[in-house]
Chains A and B, each alone.
Chain A
Amino acid sequence: MSTTPLRTPLAPWHESHGGRMVDFAGWWMPVQYSSIVEEHLATRQAVGMFDVSHMGRLAIEGPAAHGWLESLLTRRVADIAVGQARYTLVTSNEGPTGVTILDDALVTREADAADGTPRFAMVVNASNRDRVVAWLRSRLPAAGVSFADRTAETAMIAVQGPLAVSTVCVLCGDDDAGRISGLGNYRATRAFVAGQPAAVSRTGYTGEDGVEVVVPAAVAQDVWQAIHDAGAPRGLKPCGLGARDTLRLEAGMPLYGHELTASSDPFAIGLGLAVNLDAAGGGPRQFPGRDALARMKAAQPARVRVGLAFDSKRAAREGSPVVVAGRDVGSVTSGSLAPSLGHAVAMALLDREVAAAGTAVDVLIRDVPQAAKVVPLPFYKRPSPRG
């Protein structure tokens, strides 16, 4: 089946600024404008800006919204404060193991409505949006929760890098700038950015400090251009999906469809923090697939997620087999040259017995064995993370 890819409100800008456009998860998106390596390094050293409007943005509100989310998400949200964001999985209780991971998502509690009604925003992967929306809708109670897919009417811009926050703050009034620069990680606020109403969160997918900014679709190009112009003198580059992928890989962040799949054991891939089996006060929580996840947590996984470092620049790709002494011990889930490190890296699922840091393995790259070593994740950590 081939359908015309969806266009974000920023697609015309990408096309008129040299973006190499491809169909990604049904969206017409730039892979790169200049060079993936240059865009990657600009994000590490100054600022990179990314159109991430293809990601699904869902709005959930109503008197019963809080309890409803608590009953559906692997991550505890009963105790989430206004302005707080949490990384979670969205699961159903289907499948052979009793749990299917439908997506990973970021859920944010926004300021309550004027009448005190709680409001939440959820960001989901473009590739999973349809099925997550269908799943959540199928679980809606008869009353008390309103659910809306706001993807088409908004745009989302990720501004990432050591100069990202100060670049965005240039475009805000003093009060808003102060609030944004004071945001802790995984905290969110509302502000006017370049004069437009925006939801701003201290989040991202690059391993750098930065923010993600959601604005109405109609003003997306104005806000994008303003951020671009404010950042350009400080080394900002617009970045495509290519750099987004190399940045998240260096930062050791999983990508749904690669490290994380419908049948993953989250504890084996380092996502145990996204699963709260029990309530804060003790006692089991009740979300779909909870008991299956409890069994996974209690068992030893056969294969675990590791980092692999190569001496050469030649990259392993998803599916490359990993061998030790001629024995198959796992396979690569993502791989690339790491532009910040100057050599290739990969994430892989490996047998537990060979997963210790320092273990020497061979990765078959187009059938040719390439030496690699198991290393701790992440591959790259920013020099001085904010406290």
Chain B
Amino acid sequence: MAEMKFAKSHEWVRPEAGGLATVGISKYAVEALTDLVFMQLPPVGRKVKAGESLGEIESVKAVSDIYAPVSGEIVEVNSALPNQLDTLGADPYGAGWIVRIKPDDPAELAGLLDQTAYDALVKS
């Protein structure tokens, strides 16, 4: 399996077979949010730029944007997720995936944090 990368805004992205990239939010982010109540997914087919909001997640306390870690087209969304937000906490890197993106430029991934750098970021 290809290496998972992280954005500083706490999304993860994992390259998949066929040139797609799966995106979710990190365990750290889910634990920091707590009490999730609502999630808004983007429509399939929407084009996003890296750093652009692709959806939002709401906890009892606040609403947060979910940012695209790479530019590309949304080709699939985890439409079951908004109705079972517990999955995000239980399996953030598996069943809690949020969207699949067809990246415009696979090289963009290289600019993101690796696991070690991300762990250091959230510990600091």
Contacts and interface: CB of A to CB of B under 8 A. Distances in A.
A192 B34 CA distance: 38
Nearest to B37: A313
A181 interface: no
A339 interface: yes
B35 A312 contact: no
Contacts of A242: 60-61
B58 A336 contact: no
The size class of the interface chain B forms with chain A is 10 to 19
B37 A366 contact: no
Contacts of B56: 366
Interface stretch (A31-39, A61-69, A139-147): A31-39
Given A312-B38, A313-B37, A315-B37, A36 B60 contact: yes
A32 B34 contact: yes
B63 interface: yes
Contacts of A246: 60
A344 B60 CA distance: 9
A314 interface: yes
Interface in A301-346: 312-315, 317, 336-337, 339, 344
Given A242-B61, A336-B60, A36 B35 contact: yes
- Which secondary structure characterizes the binding site on chain B? strand
A314 B60 contact: no
Nearest to B34: A35
B34 A314 contact: no
B37 A314 contact: yes
A337 B37 contact: yes
Contacts of B37: 313-315, 337, 344
Interface residues of A, number: 17
B63 A37 contact: no
A313 B63 CA distance: 12
A339 B59 CA distance: 12
A312 B59 CA distance: 13
Contact of B35 (A37, A314, A344, A366): A37
Interface string A236-252: 00000010001000000
Contacts of A35: 34-35
A247 to B, nearest CB: 12
Contact of B61 (A36, A312, A313, A366): A36
A315 to B, nearest CB: 7
A346 B46 CA distance: 32
Closest 3 CB pairs of A and B: A313-B37, A314-B38, A36-B60
Given A36-B59, A37-B60, A344-B37, 18 more contacts: A31-B61, A32-B34, A35-B35, A36-B34, A36-B35, A37-B35, A242-B60, A246-B60, A313-B37, A314-B37, A314-B58, A315-B38, A315-B58, A315-B60, A336-B60, A337-B35, A337-B37, A366-B63
Interface of B: 34-35, 37-38, 56, 58-61, 63
24 contacts: A31-B61, A32-B34, A32-B61, A35-B34, A36-B34, A36-B35, A36-B59, A36-B61, A37-B35, A242-B60, A246-B60, A312-B38, A313-B37, A313-B38, A314-B38, A315-B37, A315-B38, A315-B58, A317-B63, A336-B60, A337-B35, A339-B60, A344-B37, A366-B63
